[in-house]
Structure 1
Amino acid sequence: MSILLIIVIAIAVVLGVPDFRRQLVTRPVFKVFKRILPPMSVTEREAMEAGDVWWDAELFRGKPDWRQLHNYPKPGLNDEERAFLDNQVETVLAMLDDYSIVHEQKDLPQEVWDYLKKEGFFALIIPKAYGGREFSAIANSTIVSKIASRSLSAAVSVMVPNSLGPGELLMHYGTEDQKQRWLPTLADGRDVPCFALTGPEAGSDAGSIPDLGIVCKGEFEGKETLGIRLNWNKRYITLAPVATVLGLAFKLRDPEGLLGDKEDIGITCALIPTSHPGVETGRRHSPLSLAFMNGPTTGQDVFIPIDWIIGGPDYAGKGWRMLVECLSAGRGISLPALSAASGHLAARMTSAYAYVRRQFGLPIGRFEGIQEPMARIGAYAYSLEAHRRMTAGAIDLNMSPSVITAISKYHMTEMARKVVDDAMDIHAGKGIQLGPLNYLGNAYMGIPISITVEGANILTRNLMIFGQGATRCHPYVFAEMEAAANPDEEKGLQAFDGLLVKHVGYAVGNFSRALWQGLTGAKFNRAPVSGETGRYYRDLTRMSTGLAVVADMSMLVLGGDLKRREMISARLGDVLSHLYMASATLKRFEEDGHQVSDLPYVHYLLQYHLHAIGVAFDGFFDNFGHPILAATLKRIIFPWGIRYKAPKDDTAQKICSSMLVPGVLRERLSHLCYIGEGENDPTGLMESAFVAMYEAQALEKRLAKAQATGRLPKRIPFADLIEKGLEAEVISESEAAQLRKAERLRYHAIQVDSFSEMSAVPSSVVPFKEDAA
């Protein structure tokens, strides 16, 4: 007993006396930490330092404050934004004929371009002081979503000027002269912007771009001027064929020391008029079956003044940091808006089609084989809208949450891919045959574009989500990395010592909570609400604690190798991502007034997310590479095994039943889906057929009952049945007229297009002109 007491006292002295602890514990750990610290390039470090942490930090640290989540304000439109959506957006939607845009004109009509410019669609984010709309992130997102439900080509054309590009970069970093020169003309459409980053040799690895600028003196407007001589070759640049101003990212070198004593200055961004000598634009790519302007740009020996650098010469070499900090618009607003639009469109049109289309005398939505994918469509549509609102809301809080926007970019585009795939499966031939009656085909073809832009999804999942989350969201790791990188080792050691003590306490606390929550099934965790959703908060807290434990052990054991263990990193990123998406669903449920009718959607999604978290953890434990440690961690976090199950069939069936009823719930689920007026619009036709058939269902049942009793003949065409029913006085003349109208709409709605000439075949088999439209 005395020996144990002596050991305890010795440990207390070592840990409790700073000088002893620093020499005997911290210094050796510090040396090991510096050795296992993953190597980090300049671009990686700038990406790591950029942006903010938000709700992702709460989830990563193991003790999320759910009341804080509910206290974040619900994003909404102000009166001006609502009026714009109800008027200008509705006007432009009525002007769009997506089949003609994609398959005939290969471009937006000139009157649409003119209207978009005149009404400020390209100036949603530009301040009013410069002639812009100065709309919120949620308004920007909602406008893009609504347009995307009608035409992806139009939505992308609107999205890009309000996303990563000259406008946003100027607002954040431009000099006042640059803002005064460019923002008013960008706002009123006199100038159309594009931004060129990606090239043949560098996409996701922007640090390796070969495009080069050399600081030198040259002639500009007849005078010798300090400037940059540029050479570049870029591709996939949206709006490049029609742009009047080009934002350009390149590496800058200063071999003559004209700007200072640093030769390799780094990635820099400049703004160049496309009319400037040597700038080449105009050629077009053909992005699958869409018709938005996208093409290459090149330049050879292009001389520009030094003050064309965005932000002026002081921002030379700061381009990558600028780009990363502004990526939130593309990842957090624009691409989630496109994905949410896919959910709104698929939910609205697939539910209508599943009621209108009949097999074996029944709407196909009554068959369980159809109900499985249709439930996914409905649940995912609910989730996509929840995710869109929450992420845009974060940006409206003046946040730039880099990890959350990466989660949004990856998971929302992947969820949209599944939604549209399921919708295509249910529509079958109706979705395959392109033509004016097809409202799904172009949305289906556009999905891979969202998957690949703003950082390919494979990269985003495997490297970015957990890679950034592990350092930015962890309460101590990033500060420890900074301490280790301090050139003054003693100061670094002193800072590291205090962080290490806190980190150890944090880790011990998470381990103990993880074991307790595992043993008790999280029954004693607190939930901010009562009722059916309370258990989900408790389970999510438990999984958050488990992530904190596993993340700490992964970084400790794997060190720099974690950067190369991309599959392990991806699984941990999946845990964080599903925690975030589940949070968004619960927040939406509360914000919408915890509607009882929404509960099947919430149950489905929370069961789906918890099951996905369990699968990710299981994959981590099986592949961690340290079997004893992996088994120990699994036993701590899941002492009774991983018991989360996928959503049940009866939950899916409840979702399907609600989707097959016109009304408030279906409207909320798909309120951003454009529904055209009249029978000449494919969405308007399908919706009209659905409503007409639903309203006539009681009459159909009456006819079916008359058939069952022998009063009316069986197995005859429905049109004949209506007339027989009228003759037998089973239905009245007005009721017969109602049934005839419903049947006419139904039959028209399920038709597909056909063409008499090959020239009318969709553009995928027509050679695409390479000149600019």
Structure 2
Amino acid sequence: MTDALDRLDLLDLDDDLSDDDRLLRDTVRKFANDRLRPNIREWFEEGTLPARELAQEFGALGVLGMHLEGYGCQGALASQYGLVCAEIEAVDSGLRSLVSVQGSLAMYAIHAYGSEEQKQRWLPGMAAGELIGCFGLTEPDSGSDPGSMRTRAVRDGSDWVLNGTKMWITNGSLSDVAVVWARTDEGVRGFLVEKDMPGFTRQDVHHKISLRASVTSELILDDVRVPEANRLPEGNGLKAPLGCLTEARFGIVWGVTGAARDALGATLDYAGSRTQFGKPLAGFQLTQKKLADMAVSLQQTQLTARRLGELKDAGRIQPHQVSFGKFANVSAALAICREARSILGGSGITTEYPVLRHAVNLETVYTYEGTHEVHTLVLGSKLTGIDAFR
């Protein structure tokens, strides 16, 4: 696979990495190859994940909330966090989801909108992987339109009482703290709901075909009493959770390049060793056309990720630019994995090879944290100056 990865870098993008970037990437790649890759087939097939154990290992590696400042976080560049997402998702999208939901949704929400007391209480343990967080925005009847959420928070003395249901929540049943967004008389507000609060229950979603190596849950809030001290003081209005989603989408833009790269690398190796009609598959013109198209598309996704990394490191990135990245990169990565499967033929439908596993995972990534259609309309709005969401 190392030789295949070198051949896929047609534009010599690796040459532009700094020594620190290369060391970080290679360290995470080694961890992924030694610890994650040997087990991902079993985790996916069985629909299980030792998430708590892995969270602590990711914490020891220093990648949870690594782009945040202070509170046990490294304060790394956003582009360095992107490199990490690519290496983890090269193994599986579910594993990257574990990392990005922890760091870019739950931890980011507390870091950006929480009080100093909340940051001190939660962030160091979350950075170490000793505490797990989740992010509760999506509901059974409220996905692309979060403004229609039904979860309510009502003041009762110095407390709030929350009622509602959140759905498709990564890390939900594992979480020590859930960042829950609810409608109040003053508008949308964010709350830190702790796992042992009476009336707060979690249950996992089973029978998944996609993201099987990931914990997906439903959160149920039945008269959950949350003290005012657990309300995010700066988490006011729908703009706050949407800001968290923009933060998390950045990791997706990078992560899916890893999934596509892994699928294409495995396919390149297979095409070079599989013989038909007296020569390797890689020697046929139609196969080379497919490989060339996929390799160019892969490098274009990597260039997009690099550019967004430059913008974010410079503090100039805009939400529509992140939408551009998710719109372009997820669809391209999904197309690469589907085409790669066609070269592998029947072998491509088994978990012996990663291509179809990546493809079915990317079907979910295509939808979550903003559907492809939503990002289409974000870009359309930017181009025309007209919102077409309703």
TM norm structure 2: 0.89
The answer to whether the aligner puts 1:467 opposite 2:356 as a matched pair is no
Which residue of the partner structure matches residue 290 of structure 2? 373
Which residue of the partner structure matches residue 72 of structure 2? 131
The answer to whether the aligner puts 1:108 opposite 2:50 as a matched pair is yes
Worse-superposed segment, 365-374 or 180-189: 365-374
- In the alignment, the residues of structure 2 paired with residue 441 and residue 192 of structure 1 have an alpha-carbon distance, to the nearest angstrom, of 29
Secondary structure at 1:431 match in 2? helix
- In the alignment, the residues of structure 2 paired with residue 470 and residue 309 of structure 1 have an alpha-carbon distance, to the nearest angstrom, of 38
Contact 1:153/1:292 (8 A) holds in 2: yes
Contact 1:336/1:408 (8 A) holds in 2: yes
Secondary structure at 1:281 match in 2? strand
Contact 1:342/1:419 (8 A) holds in 2: no
Secondary structure at 1:122 match in 2? coil
Which residue of the partner structure matches residue 563 of structure 1? 388
The answer to whether the aligner puts 1:331 opposite 2:265 as a matched pair is no
- In the alignment, the residues of structure 1 paired with residue 329 and residue 62 of structure 2 have an alpha-carbon distance, to the nearest angstrom, of 27
The answer to whether the aligner puts 1:118 opposite 2:76 as a matched pair is no
1:390 maps to a residue whose letter is R
Which residue of the partner structure matches residue 181 of structure 2? 249
> Greater share of helix residues, 1 or 2?
1
Shift of 1:82: 4.3
For the aligned residue pairs, the C-alpha RMSD in angstroms reads: 2.2
Contact 1:343/1:380 (8 A) holds in 2: no
Write out aligned runs for 1:410-421 (5 A).
410-421=327-338
Contact 2:63/2:84 (8 A) holds in 1: no
Contact 1:325/1:400 (8 A) holds in 2: no
Secondary structure at 2:214 match in 1? coil
Secondary structure at 1:399 match in 2? coil
Which residue of the partner structure matches residue 284 of structure 1? 205
Contact 1:138/1:396 (8 A) holds in 2: yes
Shift of 1:152: 2.6
Which residue of the partner structure matches residue 303 of structure 1? 225
- In the alignment, the residues of structure 1 paired with residue 117 and residue 54 of structure 2 have an alpha-carbon distance, to the nearest angstrom, of 31
Secondary structure at 2:226 match in 1? strand
Instruction: Mark the CA change 1:92 to 1:228 in structure 2 (over 3 Å): closer, same or farther.
Output: same
- In the alignment, the residues of structure 1 paired with residue 51 and residue 120 of structure 2 have an alpha-carbon distance, to the nearest angstrom, of 30
Instruction: Mark the CA change 1:302 to 1:291 in structure 2 (over 3 Å): closer, same or farther.
Output: same
In structure 2, which of residues 159, 162, 169 is the aligned counterpart of residue 237 of structure 1? 169
- In the alignment, the residues of structure 1 paired with residue 27 and residue 258 of structure 2 have an alpha-carbon distance, to the nearest angstrom, of 19
Secondary structure at 1:200 match in 2? coil
Which residue of the partner structure matches residue 203 of structure 1? 143
Contact 2:66/2:74 (8 A) holds in 1: yes
Shift of 1:196: 0.5
Shift of 1:151: 2.6
Instruction: Mark the CA change 1:178 to 1:111 in structure 2 (over 3 Å): closer, same or farther.
Output: closer
Show structure 2 runs of 5+ residues with no match.
1-14
Worse-superposed segment, 145-154 or 190-199: 145-154
- In the alignment, the residues of structure 2 paired with residue 179 and residue 204 of structure 1 have an alpha-carbon distance, to the nearest angstrom, of 29
Shift of 1:88: 5.0
- In the alignment, the residues of structure 2 paired with residue 267 and residue 340 of structure 1 have an alpha-carbon distance, to the nearest angstrom, of 34
- In the alignment, the residues of structure 2 paired with residue 438 and residue 94 of structure 1 have an alpha-carbon distance, to the nearest angstrom, of 17
In structure 1, which of residues 387, 390, 406 is the aligned counterpart of residue 304 of structure 2? 387
Shift of 1:351: 2.0
Measured against aligned partners, the alpha-carbon deviations of 1:493-544 in whole angstroms (never above 9, x if no partner) come to xxxxxxxxxxxxxxxxxxxxxxxxxxxxxxxxxxxxxxxxxxxxxxxxxxxx
Which residue of the partner structure matches residue 259 of structure 1? none
Instruction: Mark the CA change 1:88 to 1:416 in structure 2 (over 3 Å): closer, same or farther.
Output: closer
Which residue of the partner structure matches residue 703 of structure 1? none
- In the alignment, the residues of structure 2 paired with residue 241 and residue 336 of structure 1 have an alpha-carbon distance, to the nearest angstrom, of 26
1:357 maps to a residue whose letter is R
Which residue of the partner structure matches residue 320 of structure 1? 238
Shift of 1:391: 1.0
- In the alignment, the residues of structure 1 paired with residue 92 and residue 282 of structure 2 have an alpha-carbon distance, to the nearest angstrom, of 27
- In the alignment, the residues of structure 2 paired with residue 200 and residue 109 of structure 1 have an alpha-carbon distance, to the nearest angstrom, of 24
Show structure 1 runs of 5+ residues with no match.
1-73, 218-225, 254-264, 472-554, 556-561, 567-773
- In the alignment, the residues of structure 2 paired with residue 279 and residue 124 of structure 1 have an alpha-carbon distance, to the nearest angstrom, of 29
Shift of 1:365: 2.0
Report % sequence identity: 22
In structure 1, which of residues 182, 194, 201 is the aligned counterpart of residue 134 of structure 2? 194
Instruction: Mark the CA change 1:271 to 1:111 in structure 2 (over 3 Å): closer, same or farther.
Output: closer
Measured against aligned partners, the alpha-carbon deviations of 1:593-650 in whole angstroms (never above 9, x if no partner) come to xxxxxxxxxxxxxxxxxxxxxxxxxxxxxxxxxxxxxxxxxxxxxxxxxxxxxxxxxx
- In the alignment, the residues of structure 2 paired with residue 339 and residue 92 of structure 1 have an alpha-carbon distance, to the nearest angstrom, of 15
Instruction: Mark the CA change 1:377 to 1:84 in structure 2 (over 3 Å): closer, same or farther.
Output: same
The answer to whether the aligner puts 1:454 opposite 2:376 as a matched pair is no
Instruction: Mark the CA change 1:237 to 1:425 in structure 2 (over 3 Å): closer, same or farther.
Output: same
Q: Give the number of equivalent residue pairs.
A: 373
Contact 1:196/1:249 (8 A) holds in 2: yes
Contact 2:381/2:388 (8 A) holds in 1: yes
Shift of 1:105: 6.2
Contact 2:169/2:217 (8 A) holds in 1: yes
Shift of 1:287: 3.7
- In the alignment, the residues of structure 1 paired with residue 149 and residue 315 of structure 2 have an alpha-carbon distance, to the nearest angstrom, of 31
Write out aligned runs for 1:41-120 (5 A).
76=17, 79=20, 82-87=22-27, 89-96=29-36, 97-104=39-46, 106-108=48-50, 111-120=53-62
Measured against aligned partners, the alpha-carbon deviations of 1:102-141 in whole angstroms (never above 9, x if no partner) come to 11361137653432233333231332x3111222111111
The answer to whether the aligner puts 1:214 opposite 2:154 as a matched pair is yes
Which residue of the partner structure matches residue 9 of structure 2? none
Secondary structure at 1:409 match in 2? helix
- In the alignment, the residues of structure 1 paired with residue 306 and residue 344 of structure 2 have an alpha-carbon distance, to the nearest angstrom, of 29
Instruction: Mark the CA change 1:195 to 1:75 in structure 2 (over 3 Å): closer, same or farther.
Output: farther
- In the alignment, the residues of structure 1 paired with residue 296 and residue 329 of structure 2 have an alpha-carbon distance, to the nearest angstrom, of 13
Secondary structure at 1:236 match in 2? strand
- In the alignment, the residues of structure 2 paired with residue 75 and residue 267 of structure 1 have an alpha-carbon distance, to the nearest angstrom, of 43
Which residue of the partner structure matches residue 630 of structure 1? none
The answer to whether the aligner puts 1:353 opposite 2:273 as a matched pair is no
> Greater share of strand residues, 1 or 2?
2
